Structure formats: C-alpha cells, structure tokens
Amino acid sequence: MKKRPCVGVSVILVDNQNILLGLRKGSHGSGSWGMPGGHIEWRESFFDCAKREVKEELGVSIICNDIFFSTNDYFKNEDKHYVTIFIVAKIQKGLIQNKEPHKCAEWKWFNHAELPLNLFLPVMNLIKQKSLKELLTN
C-alpha cells in the first residue's frame, strides 16, 4: 500500500505575548516542545478538531480565531509525514490541566521571543515560514 501523509491540527493558544507549549513524550518528537493538537478525524472540521484535542489534552474550552498557517513536515527518524494545520485560539473557559501525562510531561507558557530551542518539527517549520510575533501583535 502506498504511504500518504497524515493531517494534524496544532493549536496556537495565545495569552497576551505568550504561547502555550507542552513537552512531548512517548510519541514522535519526544523531548520537544509542541502545541496542543492531534489527528483530524473523519469528516471533522479543523476548528472542531482543535476544540476536541484541546479539551482532551488540557481540559479547557477554546474560541478558535483563524487558520494561521500550514506546514509540510517529514519526520526522517520515524519515517512519518504530516501536513499540519495551525489554528489560532484563546481559552474561553476552564483552567489548564495536564489531562494526558503519558503524552505530555508538562504545559508551560512561553513569551514568543523566548521560545525553547528544542521545538517540535511543525513548530520549527512554522517559525521558518511565519513570524509568531506578527500573530501576537495583530
């Protein structure tokens, strides 16, 4: 069977000049900082996927503002290929909890100008193509 890319949705949760990142574990990109998100389900919209994944991972409800950008991500070591759709959102209701500690060691807010060096590949590719500062100042 021919291999095809998977589609992932990644949520850029914004609070003032800060972006929420989680330290991934137990999956591809383990040990890197990524945004909440996951695989889009059959017949699910990008926004519905973003809301579902954030609820599952963080236990909060979000308001989705816009589709910010997409990246084409090939994980060489794992031989995985993803198209990642980035959604801009803000927390609408709830307090952040680590609902999936087997997948994420911790969640932390980072200033857009002080992001960690070990970023998840889709986040690195996003930053190469688009400025997060631009997102936060609009």
Please give the mean pLDDT across all residues of the chain: 92
The answer to whether residues 59 and 94 touch, using CB atoms and an 8 Å cutoff, is yes
* pLDDT tens-digit map of 45-94: 999 999 999 999 999 999 998 887 899 999 999 999 999 999 999 999 99
Neighbouring CB atoms inside 10 A of 3's CB total 8
Range of the domain at 87: 6-137
pLDDT-based confidence at residue 133 (cuts at 50, 70, 90): low
> 6-15 and 80-93: which strand pairing?
parallel
What is the amino acid identity at position 109? Answer: W
pLDDT-based confidence at residue 104 (cuts at 50, 70, 90): very high
**Paired tokens of 119:** 């970023």
Q: How many structural domains compose the chain?
A: 1
Has residue 31 got a pLDDT over 80? Answer: yes
91 belongs to a structural domain: yes
Q: What is the CATH number of the domain that holds 27?
A: 3.90.79.10
Over range 20-43, report the average pLDDT.
95
Provide the 3-class DSSP secondary structure of residue 85: strand
15 belongs to a structural domain: yes
Query: Distance between CA 74 and CA 91 in Å, rounded?
Result: 30
Tokens 């519905």 belong to residue: 48
36 belongs to a structural domain: yes
1 belongs to a structural domain: no
21 belongs to a structural domain: yes
Has residue 124 got a pLDDT over 90? Answer: yes
Quote the pLDDT of residue 129.
84
